[in-house]
A = this chain, B = another copy of it.
Amino acid sequence: MKRQHRWVLLVAASSTVTLASAADLETHMSKSSNWAAQAGDYANHRYSELKQINASNVGRMQVAWTMSTGVLRGHEGSPLVIGDTMYIHTPFPNNVFAVNLKDQSYKWKYEPKQDASVVPVMCCDTVNRGLAYGDGKILLQQADTTLVALDANTGKVMWSAKNGDPKIGETNTNAPHVFKDTVITGISGGEFGVRGRLIAYDLATGKKKWTAWSTGPDKEVLIDPAKTMTWTNGKMAPVGADSSIKSWKGDQWKLGGGTTWGWYAYDPKLNLVYYGTGNPGTWNPSQRPGDNKWSMTIFARDLNTGMAKWAYQMTPHDEWDYDGINEMLLVDLNIKGKQVPAVVHFDRNGFGYTLNRDTGELLVAEKYDPTVNWATKVDMKTGRPVVDKKYSPGTTGPDVNVKDICPAALGTKDQQPASYDRKSGLIMVPTNHVCMTYEPFQVEYTAGQPFVGATLTMYPTPGSHGGMGNFIAWDAAQGKIMWSKPERFSVWSGALTTAGDVVFYGTLEGYIKAVSPKDGKELWKFKTPSGIIGNVFTYEYGGKQYVGVYSGIGGWAGIGMAAGLTESTEGLGAVGGYKDLAKYTTLGGSLFIFGLPDSTGSATTALK
């Protein structure tokens, strides 16, 4: 209980000193009946205090109601629930529906007219990771890089802001994040030579507050060479002047990648925003010598100014496409007897990192899949991975096919967010268990064309259980897997932990599953119409707890189905790797809401 209490405080902290707008979201997040943010809170916990549905009754859970989104292809993210209204979003064309929870009729529909030419420059399906809420507004980040604020009551556009250019491959898939009176959004296009940045807007007006580039001059990266710190020789030290520029050949940083399409977090006490940057431009490492900073980096930035307090690069000079964008979980941990305000991050590169989120100190870096082989370990002094040359396409050079690299390019985990179980203190992590061959080749940049330069194949980790995923419980203080539940396919869906001692996640075949946080034992499952890559969420309405999830296969793992591709190496190797999905599921797009049966045995809406 003490741990829970602390989090409630953290979430609502300093709300009294901020504007009414910020208080609005924080008040809504503090009520467990709502699901007012994609992760339920600022800290990316995806934990709910609701416990009507618990380990002993979850086996009787039924479908309460369902809703088609009217769009096929990959459905990531989750709806939001504020009071008696649910806000649903779709993949491109990014429709938004406000649903009256009383009778599931529509309050309003927002259906943007977007130029479909954005679709072919989206690397990994036409996904959208969801809406944000704040100050009576629903925030939608459209694929065409337009950020829109809608009146939550009417669906009318209150302001909009354009933050990129699809003609040069800039698109969006990330959920916007509201932190107090600021909306934060990112950019996609690491496979098109896009230069990544995080952008902050004023929630009330849509006025741009700051842009923090991932690569380039200090004043554009919002780095203070003397004050922005990084892990150096076992301690924190200033990054120094031109830390990014110096780590690139010539002006390659201009096409440097480091895009920002993940899940950000915010600590209101420290007033810091946390997020990760993606892969450096081109997948052919020989073409871009250097550490390629600040791609593959965790940044902690001041919410008001965007200035970087600290940065940590996980995969210097990436050779595997191990984007660093995965979610940042803010948890307070007891590490070797000391209470630490930590940020935990499960990187694509297969290491689970724990850092002090205040100072940026590196505390833990351990493999969260023991079969990870591209690096033997992270050197805790330098903070750099110790790369195994056998699995280094940059060492072997272009046009050599490097075999059996684990994990594959889509990492031990991709966008699918983990959940922090505040009760057990463990983090529940949906993972991939996939390896690859990787053959880089020379590529020239052409604006709006793929800037990749590598041919990949993917397959289940050899010599393992045969499946392509695991759902694991992680102790972030120790860097240790507590249990691991094998899955036939990668778990591409976000997890939910609850006070009812039940953990939920979805599978690519389309099952939503409830398991015990103690040992991963399956307590319940249900087959939804299509594969699940959405995140499980929960809310309470009319005194009843509901659990919900989008069903709709797609994303990078499901790109073969979503885009109708059939060649093994298409989708950068995912098509061949996940070809068996077609035996189990089909494209779809719907929302499923589950609940416990009432006394008559029915979970469905009451008869009139």
Contact = CB atoms under 8 A, between A and B. Distances in A.
Interface of A: 59-63, 65-70, 72, 97, 104-106, 109, 522, 524-530, 551-552, 582-591, 597, 600-605, 607-608
Contact of A601 (B60, B69, B600): B60
B105 A584 contact: yes
Chain A contact surface mostly: loop
A529 B90 CA distance: 14
Contact of A590 (B105, B588, B597, B602): B588
Contacts of A62: 62-63, 597, 602-603
Given A527-B104, A597-B601, A605-B525, A109 B68 contact: no
A585 B584 CA distance: 27
Contacts of A109: 582
- Among A69, A97, A600, A601, residue most surrounded by chain B Cβ atoms (within 10 Å): A601
A587 B441 CA distance: 44
Contacts of A587: 68, 70
| Integer count of this chain's copies in the complex | 2
- Among A528, A530, A582, A604, residue most surrounded by chain B Cβ atoms (within 10 Å): A604
Given A586-B97, A588-B589, A68 B529 contact: yes
Contacts of A605: 525, 527
Given A60-B600, A97-B586, 18 more contacts: A60-B597, A60-B601, A62-B602, A66-B528, A67-B527, A67-B586, A68-B529, A70-B72, A70-B586, A72-B72, A104-B527, A104-B584, A524-B607, A525-B605, A525-B607, A526-B604, A529-B529, A590-B590
A59 B602 contact: yes
Contacts of A60: 597, 600-602
A184 to B, nearest CB: 30
A587 B95 CA distance: 13
Nearest to A531: B68
Contact of A67 (B72, B529, B608): B529
A21 to B, nearest CB: 31
A68 B583 contact: no
- Among A59, A105, A582, A590, residue most surrounded by chain B Cβ atoms (within 10 Å): A590
Closest 6 CB pairs of A and B: A68-B588, A60-B601, A68-B529, A63-B63, A70-B586, A70-B587
A584 B551 contact: no
